């Protein structure tokens, strides 16, 4: 059954509970006890219980669990590798660098909004 969670607006605790439930389901489908999975992944059983209950965890713990469950391939779906944007490719072709592509190293600061330092004060009388 597909999740009905809107990940754009759902609170992190709701998403954590969904993810914990999915880990528990994957574990049970493989007929593995919590103790066995904790041992195979190198984490404490209490950590696994908290994670399955949606009470937090670390990225390290998630990676270890997915590896132990044979589901590490799903990490690619979590945040797919991004390539060069179409605009960057066009700009590089115009600059003569041809097929040379590099990934961004920094984000640009957003421009400040222009604010007016004066006003007409049309409604005021001297």
What CATH number is associated with residue 50? 1.10.260.40
The H or E element containing residue 28 is helix 12-29
Which residue in the block uniquely carries the two structure tokens 């709701």?
Answer: 14
Residue range(s) defining the domain that contains residue 47: 12-76
Rounded to two decimals, what is the model's pTM? 0.65
Domain annotation covers residue 118: no
Residue 45: inside a domain? yes
Give CA–CA dist 13/2, Å, rounded.
19
Q: What is the pLDDT along the chain (126 residues), one digit of tens a residue?
A: 566 889 899 999 999 999 999 999 999 999 999 999 999 999 999 999 999 999 988 999 999 999 999 999 988 888 887 776 777 767 766 666 555 556 667 778 888 776 666 666 666 665
First to last CA, the chain: 72
């Amino acid at each position: 059954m597909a999740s009905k969670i809107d990940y754009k607006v759902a609170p992190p605790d709701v998403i954590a509970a969904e993810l914990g439930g999915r880990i528990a389901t994957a574990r049970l489908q493989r007929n593995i006890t919590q103790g066995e999975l904790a041992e195979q992944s190198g984490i404490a059983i209490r950590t696994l219980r908290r994670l399955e209950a949606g009470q937090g965890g670390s990225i390290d713990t998630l990676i270890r669990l997915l590896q132990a469950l044979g589901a590490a391939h799903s990490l690619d779906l979590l945040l797919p590798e991004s390539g060069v944007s179409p605009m960057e490719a066009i700009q590089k072709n115009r600059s003569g660098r041809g097929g040379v592509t590099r990934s961004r190293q920094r984000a640009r600061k957003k421009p400040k909004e222009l604010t007016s330092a004066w006003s007409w004060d049309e409604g005021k009388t001297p």
